[in-house]
Amino acid sequence: MLADGLPEDWKQVLQDAIHAPSFKELERFLREQRAEHTVFPSEADMFSAFRLTPYADVRVLLLGQDPYHGPKQAHGLAFSVQPGVPPPPSLVNMFKELQSDVGAPKPRDGSLIPWAKQGVLLLNTVLTVRQAEPNSHAKHGWEQFTDAVIRAVSEKPDPVVFLLWGKPAQKKKSLIDAKRHVVMEGTHPSPLSASKGFFGSKPFSETNAALEARGQKSIDWRLPG
């Protein structure tokens, strides 16, 4: 079953989503897709974000859209690529802003696993994709599941910082209790839009300031160089 890859803590808070008809349909769709096409990430990596960031530990939710669709890139974490793989353009721009914002040195690769281990849930709205076909798995059931994830994080008693970059991510704002949590909307770091507001927005230091103001530990955004 598709949900077998989810850790138990996440299964508990996502019970309704896992048993929804849309999830059963998604399961059937993915079985067919993997039989007929190359699909990223691998089945083993599909729920990496949930394994690396337990529900109780989520302090930041950074919302992406679609997994990378090139070989050896996607591994289940939004914006991140597998260890040893050079960062794609959007991630390069994130690292430029990271250096400008908090003085973090240029990382050696594009893996964001250290962020995930500190409580940054790196969630895409769609968790799989066909090779070389962006958005090919959109509107097949993933959105209902990841909406449920956002709602579940919004139900946490402790404040969480939600980072919504770009219009598709910002459309999810209605799923979040903005009275209890911090919602930071901004420009997407893609090459098409980064110069229109992402650069200079200081999302990393502002996230830490918001966490600290609410008695939470800040994130060490530096990555291995």
- CA neighbor of 107 nearest in space, from 97, 116, 117: 97
- CA neighbor of 163 nearest in space, from 92, 97, 100, 85: 97
DSSP 121: E
Which one of 66, 101, 147, 220 is the catalytic residue? 66
φ and ψ of 38, to 5 deg: -85, 125
User: Can you tell me which residue has the tokens 């250290």?
Assistant: 114
Maximum distance among all alpha carbons in the chain?
50
Tell how far CA 105 is from the center of its chain. Answer: 22
Task: With H, G, I as helix, E, B as strand and everything else as coil, classify residue 186.
Answer: strand
φ and ψ of 52, to 5 deg: -80, -25
DSSP per-residue letters across 35-88 = HHS-EES-TTTTTHHHHHS-GGG--EEEEE-S---STTT--SSTT---TTSPPP
Count CB neighbours of 100 within 10 A: 15
Q: Is-catalytic flag, 66?
A: yes
Indicate which residues carry an active-site annotation: 66
